[in-house]
Amino acid sequence: MARINLLPWREERRELRRKRFLLVLALAVASSLGAVLVANQIIGGAIDRQVARNHYIGQQIATVDERIKQINDLKARRQQVVERLRVIQDLQGNRQTSGRIFEQLARAMPDGVYFTEVKMTGKTLAITGAAQSNQRISDLMRNLKASDWFDAPSLAEVKASAAGQVDQANVFQLTVHQTRPATPEVGN
């Protein structure tokens, strides 16, 4: 019988399979690396776009914060101007009040009564003075009560002065609240 050696054919076939396997393996590795690189590029591009968006939003937030700060500054300035206007209006409205108060005090003061000190705290007047008698102090309180500019006179103290100190016999302290008359007085 003839001897046929089948081993080289099988070895060739194995070598061919091994080459195909290595070729397929190399192609798989190359395609996997390509897929990984493409995925990396896509994900890197998405990250770059998101970073750019975040940067843009950060810039816009800084711009809006600056505008909010400017608005708050403007509100503070507006409030200061409103307060100044209110003070000016109060001063303008009360311009004649002090003159009227002194005029009404002079009208309410009977003969024989003298003021030594008039002090205004808020809407309360503290009056210190001297009178010839208690009757004159009572007349003063009645006149203050009758005035449209004053309300609730309250006598705090009456002292008899020592002989030779002052010509008047009684030193007094009283308080009275300033009010505004319902209708302003005309002329006089």
DSSP structural state of residue 161? P
The span from the CA of 100 to the CA of 181, in Å, is 11
Query: Which tens digits make up the pLDDT trace of 41-100?
Result: 999 999 999 999 999 999 999 999 999 999 999 999 999 999 999 988 877 776 777 778
Give 165's pLDDT tier (boundaries 50, 70, 90): low
Q: Domain spanning 97-178: which superfamily?
A: General secretion pathway protein M, EpsM (3.30.1360.100)
The span from the CA of 161 to the CA of 159, in Å, is 6
The span from the CA of 150 to the CA of 120, in Å, is 12
Q: Domain residues of the chain, as ranges? A: 1-95, 97-178
Residue 108's closest CA among 133, 75, 142, 81? 142
The span from the CA of 145 to the CA of 151, in Å, is 6
**Phi/psi of residue 5, each to 5°?**
-95, 110
DSSP structural state of residue 151? E
